Chain A
Amino acid sequence: MLTAAIVAILVTMVLALIRAFLGPTEYDRMLAANSFGTKTVLLIALGGYALSWNSFLDVALLYAMVNFVGTIAVMRFFEYSTPVEPSEEGEQTS
């Protein structure tokens, strides 16, 4: 079961990489990168247990934190690179 889950995580990582390459906008690429990072945390946790590494969970926890901070940092950079005021949006569906 552990092996099946690891294979599923690897497949998802490949799918996220395809989206990161295709990507039309930079936001899509960042979304794929964020998703990839979460999958890496899961892969370290499950794979480390399966291969009985030492202190793999510390690595996974640290990776989760770095992934979060990295996403926020890159998105702040994108957010203020173009000076657009958010407009008051109305209802857009019927």
Chain B
Amino acid sequence: MHYLFIAIALYAFWLLLSGHYVALLLALGGLSVLIVVFFLLRMDRVDGEPSTLRPSLKFFRYIGWLLWQVVLSNIALARRVWDPALPIRPTWGKLDTKLPLPLEKALYANSITLTPGTLTTDVRDDHLMIHCLSPEELEELRKGEMERRIKDIGV
């Protein structure tokens, strides 16, 4: 069932990219989708548990919030770059996290990296290493709003 969904999504992707609807190209597309799904089956056997993020309403709400945060921090960073004094104080520190699942942790680390001004350099069991341009940003992350929102998605 899961693989059928992936196959349909891949075929839609192929149709979108090619834009030609003749029999030969459609058959070639079907063949390559089959090959990809076959490889995916073999890879899942190596990987163990295929954990997926279901596209739900909550997930898209989180993405929207994240993009808004990205816009805000971009504006703040652009202001700092053009400031003649260059008011930055690079900080490197620990950020404790209580997210249990690897998928949630990966989402958290990626969200932090996507926001300019903060950068994940390492992910461990119970904490992340964060490099950021000023200690205030680390404090902001420690308040844990982003973590709470990721928990709310409920992977």
Q: Mark B131-146, 1 if CB is under 8 A from A, else 0.
A: 0000100100000000
Q: How far is the CA of A92 from the CA of B90 in the complex (A)?
A: 10
Give the total number of A-B pairs whose CB atoms are below 8 A apart: 17
A61 surroundings in chain B (CB, below 8 A): 17
Q: How far is the CA of A61 from the CA of B135 in the complex (A)?
A: 37
A93 surroundings in chain B (CB, below 8 A): 91-93, 135, 138
Q: Are the C-beta atoms of A89 and B17 separated by less than 8 Å? A: no
Q: What is the distance, in angstroms, from B129's C-beta to the closest C-beta of chain A?
A: 6
Instruction: Name A50-93 residues within 8 Å CB distance of B.
Output: 58, 61, 86, 89-93
* Size of B's binding interface in residues, CB under 8 A: 9
Q: How far is the CA of A74 from the CA of B75 in the complex (A)?
A: 31
B122 surroundings in chain A (CB, below 8 A): 86
Q: Are the C-beta atoms of A92 and B93 separated by less than 8 Å? A: yes
Closest to B94 in A: A91
Q: What is the distance, in angstroms, from B96's C-beta to the closest C-beta of chain A?
A: 11
Q: Are the C-beta atoms of A91 and B17 separated by less than 8 Å? A: no
User: What are 9 A-B pairs with beta-carbon distances under 8 A?
Assistant: A58-B17, A89-B94, A90-B94, A91-B93, A91-B94, A92-B93, A93-B92, A93-B93, A93-B138
